[in-house]
């Protein structure tokens, strides 16, 4: 870990930022670029943000999860996840139905309209992927996937245990 200036390959000083801080900053910015590009692509459809689209795509993959299962899978705060689900239901892209085993819970499924929207929007979202990552060569993309997948697996393993912890407790678990 570098506690002093982290110099980019260009030789520019980035200020007092650790290498981990630089990684966090860059991944955050890349997420914002993808969100910006996605919003433009989704203007053609009834969705206005990438989160709604990803919820819909993930729901298609999960089948008929409980609301809470989808929200936790999406790593969302519960109130925000409920808002996304409400928007998708209101647009008739998602249907709710009672859970036969747990009367207090509702399950979700993608509707025909939701599936149609995904099918029609997929070519546009693929263009967003191209826009975001076309500057990398295929071997670089493979390396990036391997690294990000390793980080994702690590955090997915610990997320449910630390999500209600204090920052100090989470730090102890994640930075051993």
Are 80 and 55 in contact by the 8 Å Cβ rule? The answer is no
* 101 plus 163 within the same structural domain: no
Indicate the helix (H) or strand (E) that contains 98: strand 94-98
* 88 plus 140 within the same structural domain: no
Task: State how far Cα 87 lies from the chain centre.
Answer: 18
**Given this model, what pLDDT does residue 7 score?**
56
Domain count, the chain: 2
Give DSSP secondary structure letters for 124-159: HHHHHHHHHHTTS-HHHHHHHHHHHHHHHHHHHHHH
Residue 92 lies in a domain: yes
* 147 plus 118 within the same structural domain: no
* 143 plus 60 within the same structural domain: no
Integer Cα distance of 81 and 70 in angstroms? 8
Give the tokens for residue 52.
């709604």
Residue 5 lies in a domain: no
Weakly modelled stretches of the chain, pLDDT under 70: 1-15
Please name which of 113, 115, 120 lies closest in space to residue 63, comparing C-alpha atoms.
115
**Given this model, what pLDDT does residue 13 score?**
60
Residue 17 lies in a domain: no
- Condensed to tens digits (0 to 9), the pLDDT of residues 54-94 reads 999 999 999 999 999 999 999 999 999 999 999 999 999 99
Residue 8 lies in a domain: no
Are 76 and 120 in contact by the 8 Å Cβ rule? The answer is no
* Residues with Cβ within 8 Å of residue 67, at least 6 apart in sequence: 81, 82, 85, 96, 105, 106, 107, 108
For residue 54, give its domain range: 22-134
**Given this model, what pLDDT does residue 33 score?**
95
Residue 13 lies in a domain: no
* 88 plus 154 within the same structural domain: no
């Amino acid at each position: 870990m570098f506690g002093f200036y982290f110099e980019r390959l260009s030789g520019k000083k980035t200020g007092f930022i650790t290498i981990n801080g630089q990684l966090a900053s860059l991944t955050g910015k890349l997420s914002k670029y993808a969100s910006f590009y996605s919003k433009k692509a989704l203007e053609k459809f009834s969705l206005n943000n990438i989160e709604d689209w990803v919820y819909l795509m993930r729901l298609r993959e999960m089948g008929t999860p409980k609301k809470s299962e989808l929200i936790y899978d999406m790593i969302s705060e519960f109130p925000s996840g409920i808002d996304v689900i409400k928007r998708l239901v209101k647009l008739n892209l998602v249907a709710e139905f009672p859970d036969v085993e747990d009367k207090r819970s509702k399950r979700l499924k993608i509707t025909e309209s939701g599936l149609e929207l995904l099918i029609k929007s997929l070519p546009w979202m693929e263009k967003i992927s191209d826009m975001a990552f076309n500057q990398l060569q295929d071997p670089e993309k493979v390396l990036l996937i391997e690294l990000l997948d390793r980080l994702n697996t690590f955090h997915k393993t610990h997320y449910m245990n630390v999500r209600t912890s204090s920052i100090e407790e989470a730090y102890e678990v994640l930075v051993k």
